[in-house]
Amino acid sequence: MHFTGVVMMCLMGAHVLTANPNPTTIVDQSDLDRMKTLVHLSAPVSTNSLSNIYYSLFSQTLLSQTIAQSTDICNHLKTQTDQTIESIFYITSAAKLINCQISGAQYVSKLESALKEDSPVADIYRAAISLLNLGKAIDSTKVAKVLVTALKKDESLINTGLAFQLAAKFTKAEDRNLFVEKIGDVIVQADEVDGKFLQFEGGLGITASIVSGVYQLASASNKPIGLKNDQALKFANYFLSRKYVLTPKSISELLEVLKLFTNNKYHIPVIITNYGSSALSPSNPVLTVRVTNVLGASLGPLAVTIDSAVKVDDKKTVLTKKTLQSVQGDSKLYAINFLDSKPLRGQYDLLVSAVPSKADPRLIANTGVQLKAIVLTQVSIVSAEITVADRDTGGSGAVTKLEYPKAISQPLEADSQQRVVLKFQLKDKIVGDLMSAHQTFVQLTNVKTKQDIVFIAEHDSALNYKLDLNLQTKAKDLNHMNGLYEISLIIGDAVISNPIQWKIASINLQLSSSHSPSTEEAVSPFVSKPEIKHLFREQEIRPAPVVSNAFSILVLLPIVILFGLLW
């Protein structure tokens, strides 16, 4: 038998219901700072691959960092002799990011020769982008034709994403329209996860490529994007869930698509979350809400309101259409003194909206956003008393009144023929009414061994708490151990700001003389136990071998006689 200790935790905080696709997190400044530490190029520059140089520079650009070693990088790019389409793409793209003037004459013919129907989509994309990087015009009609043909041969998701991104750069609307028509067919291939995320098979790179391509192509064509609001939110949720990426390539893919979600013609997700603690009390009455885009930036002046605040347990509405005030010094924060409406203790479901003064149809997830808040109170213990009575008297005996936080000065005495009865009530110190709590534990701790056991005090309909310990039936739970015990009352709840652990009294228990274990056994369950000796059954006495052999011969003799007669 061992005793169980008590760990009391009250979990308090706000969260958005998981069934709602509204984003609940952002890429904040700490995330951006972490990314900045991951995109630096190692020195010397020549030790980095061309792809790593490009993705590091692209990531630093997206992070608005000043690019160090730009001169060394430019000189390194000028010395490259690799003539593969992939290498030329990385060289020209990196050079464009740092305004490095490289001679494109050596690459042009190679790039133009790659714009043919038997080239892979990736080579067509890289060759066309490289020509644009070098300031060369491309024939969008010709490139569109070869791109359509190549895409028919391999219409994988990654190829489709590259095709959308390249088509967005075509100068003629009819050339772009060949690919705009494919957007709907691609979007339906996205996989939905938990009703909250949308992603394409293949992970971040492919999903980012397609979503970026879709927004760029639809915007360049000035056509409807073909993405519903909830689909855009689910894609945004997926990208935000991948914010802990570790490589320059993944960081650039993530930031590029998230920047699109902060400024485009179609969808700008609004992230409304609690800021700071949503556990409110007289010492902390202000509820603060943060309203940002996916990169944690301000969306400008907004009218932020609590549409409704409903108490979870009784469904009563305590607030409607209350406006939050902008927090001075931070345009992303809005606050309200929630306790001005005199809400009772408990958890509240909030619906919050943030709308600009001039309607912006691009804003999504900015109305009816579900948040939670909790109103705390302080609890006091009243009408507390403890009784030690004979087991057969129904609990009547000497009653000792208790006053929190004082403990009884003299130890109580009890044996296995008695019962210990503890009664008390919990009172809300702010409102003044009786209340219940989620955790109402009575802990008995052996003073010598420090082992404890916990019992639950339960209340009746009038909120009177009672614990009735029949020491004869509970002696086994106490390991029949005599000695001095401390009695403590533990009160806790998510709505209680002052959880209580009150040592009420000491009690000397005489539970049993025949079953009382040694101190060493009581202190540790790991001491050596008496050796268990097992007596195996002795082997049964068997007949002598002569008898067994004679019996075997007698059994086989008829067979020998039979074969003799047949012979």
Compute the average pLDDT of residues 81-86.
Answer: 86
Per-residue model confidence (pLDDT) at position 457: 95
Q: How confident is the model at residue 311 (pLDDT cuts 50, 70, 90)?
A: very high
Note the pLDDT of residue 436.
94
The mean per-residue pLDDT over the stretch 415-429 comes to 92
Alpha carbon distance 360, 358 (integer Å): 6
User: pLDDT exceeding 70 applies to what percent of the chain?
Assistant: 93
* Structural domains present in the chain: 29-265 (1.50.10.20), 271-375 (2.60.40), 379-523 (2.60.40)
Cβ atoms 399, 385 nearer than 8 A: yes
Q: What is the mean pLDDT of residues 349-358?
A: 93
Strands 363-364 and 268-269: parallel
What does the pLDDT average to over 364-380? 94
In the predicted structure, residue 531 carries a pLDDT above the cut 90: no
Mean pLDDT of 362-379: 94
Write the Ramachandran bin of 215: left for phi over 0, alpha for psi from -120 to 50, otherwise beta. alpha
| 348 or 13, which is more confident | 348
Are 388 and 256 spatial neighbours (Cβ–Cβ below 8 Å)? no
Phi, psi of 296 (to 5 degrees): 75, 15
Confidence band, pLDDT 50/70/90 cuts, at residue 17? very low
Mean pLDDT of 273-292: 93
Average pLDDT of span 69-78: 89
> Is pLDDT at 359 greater than 50 in this prediction?
yes
Over the range 326-363, which residues count as b (16 or more CB within 10 Å of their CB) and which as e? Answer: bbeeebbbbbbebbeeebbbbbbbbbbbbeeeeeeeeb
Q: Which residues contact 374 (CB under 8 A, 6 or more apart)?
A: 12, 13, 14, 278, 279, 280, 346, 347, 348, 494, 495
Q: What percent of the chain has pLDDT over 90?
A: 61
Q: What does the pLDDT read at residue 109?
A: 86
CB atoms within 10 A of CB 546: 8
Residue 276: count of CB within 10 angstroms of its CB: 14
Q: What is the pLDDT of residue 502?
A: 95
Lowest mean pLDDT among 18-22, 178-182, 464-468, 492-496: 18-22
Instruction: Give the mean pLDDT of 308-330.
Output: 92
pLDDT at 402 over 90: yes
Q: What is the tens place of the pLDDT at every residue in 440-478?
A: 999 999 998 888 999 999 999 999 999 999 888 888 888
Asked whether the beta carbons of 121 and 144 are under 8 A apart, the reply is no
Q: What is the mean pLDDT of residues 332-359?
A: 93
Q: Which amino acid, one-letter code, is at 8?
A: M
Higher pLDDT, 370 or 512: 370
Give the pLDDT band (50/70/90) at residue 316: very high
* Residue 439 in tokens: 């955790």
Largest separation between any pair of C-alpha atoms in the chain = 122
Contacts of 328 by beta carbon, 8 Å cutoff, 6+ apart: none
Q: Which pLDDT belongs to residue 355?
A: 94
Q: What is the DSSP letter of 392?
A: G
**Per-residue confidence band for 1, with pLDDT thresholds at 50, 70 and 90:** very low
Confidence at residue 8, expressed as pLDDT on a 0 to 100 scale = 34
- Name which of 139, 143, 97 is nearest 121 in CA terms: 143
Asked whether the predicted pLDDT for residue 527 surpasses 80, the reply is no
Q: What does the mean pLDDT of the chain come to?
A: 88
Q: What is the pLDDT of residue 518?
A: 52
Beta bridge partners of 217: none
Residue 489: predicted pLDDT: 96
Instruction: Say yes or no to pLDDT of 214 above 90.
Output: yes
- pLDDT, average across residues 218-232: 91
The more confidently predicted of residues 432 and 543 is: 432
pLDDT at 13 (0 to 100): 38
> Going by DSSP bridges, is the β-strand pair 500-510/412-415 parallel, antiparallel, or unpaired?
parallel
Tens-place pLDDT, residues 95-143: 999 999 888 788 888 888 888 888 899 999 999 999 999 989 888 899 9
Separation CA 515–CA 434 (nearest Å): 43
Residue 18 pLDDT level (bands cut at 50, 70, 90): very low
Q: What is the pTM of this model?
A: 0.77
Neighbours of 112 (CB within 10 A): 16
pLDDT at position 7 over 80: no
Angle at 98 between CA 96 and CA 104, to 5 degrees: 40
Q: Which of 72-81, 288-297, 332-341 has the lowest mean pLDDT?
A: 72-81
